[in-house]
Chains A and B, each alone.
Chain A
Amino acid sequence: MNKILLIIQREYFSRVSKKSFIVMTILGPLFFAALMFGAIAVTLSDTTEYDVLIVDPIGIITQMDPATGKLVPRYPDQFADQDKLRFSFSKDLQSPEAFKEGFYNVMVELDDVSISDGRCNMFFKKYPPTYVQSEIRSGLQESLERFRVTDSLKLDYETYKRVRVEVSFHEINIERLGEEDRTQEKATIGFGFAIAIYFFIFFYGVQVMRGVLEEKMNRIVEVIVSSVKPFQLMMGKVIGIGLVGLTQFLIWVIFSAIVFSVGMSFFSSEIASGAAVVDNAELIQAGAVDRAVLTQQLMENEAIGWLFQINWPMMIGLFVFFFIGGYMIYGSLFAAIGAALDAETDTQQFLLPITLPLVFAYIVSATMIGNPSSSIGSFFAVFPLTSPVTMMVKAIIGASPWLIILSMVVLVITIFFFVWLAGRIYRVGILMYGKKVSYRELWKWIRY
């Protein structure tokens, strides 16, 4: 037992003290945040200006302004010019050549059919972004609607608007009356956890594989196993590297907690000075609000209140448990692969079968965002090769405690099986050189 501790120590400290670990632990989240802000910034900084020409030959939605003699929208408040989006109107369609050479980026043509089925032709030089399309579409939509209501039905548009009803759901889980359910948003958060576990298992699993392969290629392994049992060496390595992963996770949790509380206090001063857009008048009136009140207000805020419905300590606890569980299974399998091979280049054929369930778990988790309560999700949240990833989504959108406990029990039992299996392959593999290993060969090793 003492010796396995020595191995864990070496594996742990030799990795934690590496520059790459420190850099990745600190810069990782910053890089990730930068990536996200970068993506937003890129979208915002799109400097292309759009000049849209609406061609309305029969004057459905446009009319001549007698003062200027120019064609203008028939209905007020439509097609207002924006910062990077300007509308012009014409009765004549430009020829393709003229459009290509011309000043407009987008040209939309209404004809007599548009009024009946709403279809218009949109010509463009470069495909316009979604926001440009939706601006054009909503302008056309309302204009055509108005035309049909006032000109065909001879109704007052305001009357028509009162007739129209738009249906939306206020989602309430019968188990949790009094709070609005945000299953889908929560599933997204759970998916974030799932991605993290997926990434951690992969990243640290591959480290185990490379570590084992390094010892084998270095030929130090025979020296070590004359002092400790091969199984101890394998477990020492798997556990040591797993602890590195947990350390990294822990640092990130603390990091996030700090960032979150700093963000909160920043947010609170913003609110206090009345700058933030919060639909809570009392808060602004209150002037200075203390933290508890603020938290209460935030929880009642519709946009982010649901974040407080998530049981964060449970999610972090589950993350740690399922990370350890999943990592133990995959980590030992990666160790067995490392032991079975001679060079890193031929890892591919064995990597695929253990990568598949993991990728599959990832896909199942992604589909669960769209259909959170599907029963297939429950199955994969219990199936031990996928549960570490899938359970993250399942638990956050509300799995019964029994499902979670069942999943944990199954996982623990499976760990023992795979660690045993990997140990069988490992102890033969590490001393085997220059042999092309097949699955049949691995099967023999297991039965030795």
Chain B
Amino acid sequence: MHTLEVRNVSKSYAGHQALREVSLKVEKGTVFGLLGPNGAGKTSLIRIINQITGPDSGEVYFDGQLLDPSHTNSIGYLPEERGLYKKMKVGEQCLYLARLKGLSKAEARTRLHAWFNRFDIMAWWDKKVEDLSKGMAQKIQFITTVLHEPRLLILDEPFSGFDPINAELIRNEMLRLKAEGTTIILSTHDMGSVEELCDNIALINRSEVILDGAVGEVRNRFRTHLFELEYEGMALDLGISLGANFELVKSFGRGGHMVAHIRLIGGHTLNQLLSALLPHVSIISMRELIPGMEEIFIEAVKTYNAANQ
């Protein structure tokens, strides 16, 4: 079941193509990472999903239905550039934003009280927004984004500007919402949180999806058969044992042990490497070095850009 399906969406603004034939599927109850360099077209796509703008061609389906204005009440959106009315009181403002999402005043009040109590910020209710710190305002923004219990939550750089404690708070809320079945689209440049939170990703570069899939699967796709070996013994012995079948990429000492990065070449397997090593060095540990999302991001974008000069 897909909460969101984008089919062949294109959009251009006065001579500039922002999205070209973009397709992606977001599975219900997962966290979907929407990645890409600045200006790649992420915000354009998010705005189309939020029906702030419409696509030039292609369709967007929400829960299997063609996206229509009634769906705005089922989507929660925290933009990267976000703000609040400075002169309004916190509680009043939350009520207003909630009612714009279709909640009744009474319902909005009940839910807000629950959230304010959970975040322990009930004391802010009658404060003016201009008196809040940036972190405080961001908490309020997060609450107003999720208050109407959207089926799809779109968070654009949700952690920026948060201290580690508040970032942790938001991260936990995200996981809780996910566990309750909320589908989340996370757009961020912070690859650490992508690895930690996302089930699937799509990488948009120059208006196109250049890479997508499950995070584990994508990382596997980019693996280079590179292994890290920790051992006791002489580096010279190691070199002898590797011969021409394995490539020694790097060798260094760490915490009293020797460490080597070794790549399998010519279709050789890890078992073959191990049997080659065993007679010469004593192995302490061995693990595969799977590239992080950061490296994959850079690699994929660079490769694409080089091929499409």
The chain A residues found within 8 Å of chain B, CB to CB, are 3, 6-7, 10, 14, 214-215, 218-220, 222-230, 427, 431, 433, 444, 448
Contacts and interface: CB of A to CB of B under 8 A. Distances in A.
A410 B296 CA distance: 62
Interface in B100-124: 100-101
Given A433-B81, A448-B13, A223 B144 contact: yes
Contacts, number: 64
B83 interface: yes
B270 to A, nearest CB: 50
B82 interface: yes
B280 to A, nearest CB: 61
B14 A220 contact: no
Contacts of A10: 96
Contact of B52 (A220, A222, A444): A222
B52 A3 contact: no
A222 B100 contact: no
B19 to A, nearest CB: 15
A14 B88 contact: yes
Contacts of B13: 448
24 contacts: A6-B96, A6-B99, A14-B87, A215-B85, A218-B83, A218-B84, A220-B83, A220-B84, A222-B52, A222-B79, A222-B81, A223-B77, A223-B78, A223-B79, A223-B144, A224-B97, A225-B50, A225-B52, A226-B50, A226-B79, A227-B73, A427-B53, A448-B13, A448-B14
A219 B14 contact: no
Nearest to A9: B96
Nearest to A220: B83
B69 interface: yes
Nearest to A444: B14
B257 interface: no
A435 to B, nearest CB: 11
B79 A218 contact: no
B97 A227 contact: yes
B86 interface: yes
A281 to B, nearest CB: 62
A302 B82 CA distance: 65
B69 A3 contact: no
B184 to A, nearest CB: 15
A215 B97 CA distance: 14
A369 to B, nearest CB: 42
Contacts of A427: 53
Contact of B85 (A220, A222, A230, A433): A220
Contacts of A3: 100
A360 to B, nearest CB: 33
Q: How large is the interface on B (under 10, 10 to 19, 20 to 34, 35 or more residues)?
A: 20 to 34
B101 A227 contact: yes
Given A226-B72, A227-B72, A431-B47, A219 B82 contact: yes
Given A6-B99, A220-B82, A222-B79, A229 B87 contact: no
B81 A219 contact: yes
A368 B272 CA distance: 103
Interface string B61-82: 0000000010011010111011
A230 B52 contact: yes
Contacts of A6: 96, 99-100
B44 to A, nearest CB: 10
A218 B88 CA distance: 12
B54 to A, nearest CB: 10
A448 B83 CA distance: 27
Contact of B100 (A218, A224, A431, A448): A224
A7 B96 CA distance: 9
Given A6-B99, A6-B100, A431-B52, A226 B85 contact: no
Contacts of A7: 100
A261 to B, nearest CB: 39
Nearest to B96: A10
B126 to A, nearest CB: 15
A218 B81 CA distance: 9
A226 B47 CA distance: 8
**Interface-centre pick from B13, B52, B87, B96 (highest chain A CB count, 10 A):** B52
Contacts of B72: 226-228
Nearest to A218: B83
B87 A222 contact: no
A130 to B, nearest CB: 50
**Interface-centre pick from B77, B84, B88, B100 (highest chain A CB count, 10 A):** B100
B79 A219 contact: yes
Contact of B86 (A218, A223, A225, A433): A218
Contacts of B75: 226
A225 B50 CA distance: 8
Contacts of A215: 85
Contacts of B86: 218
Nearest to A430: B52
Nearest to A432: B13
A222 B82 contact: yes
A223 B97 contact: yes
Nearest to A216: B83
Given A222-B77, A226-B72, 4 more contacts: A14-B87, A220-B83, A226-B50, A444-B14
A224 B84 CA distance: 10
**Interface-centre pick from A10, A220, A228 (highest chain B CB count, 10 A):** A220
A228 B51 CA distance: 9
Contact of B83 (A14, A219, A228, A444): A219
When A and B form their complex, which 7 residue pairs have the shortest distance between CB atoms, in order from nearest?
A219-B83, A218-B83, A227-B100, A226-B77, A222-B79, A226-B50, A219-B81
Contacts of A222: 52, 77, 79, 81-82
**Interface-centre pick from B77, B81, B87 (highest chain A CB count, 10 A):** B81
B305 to A, nearest CB: 24
Contacts of B78: 223
Contacts of B99: 6
A228 B100 contact: yes
A327 to B, nearest CB: 23
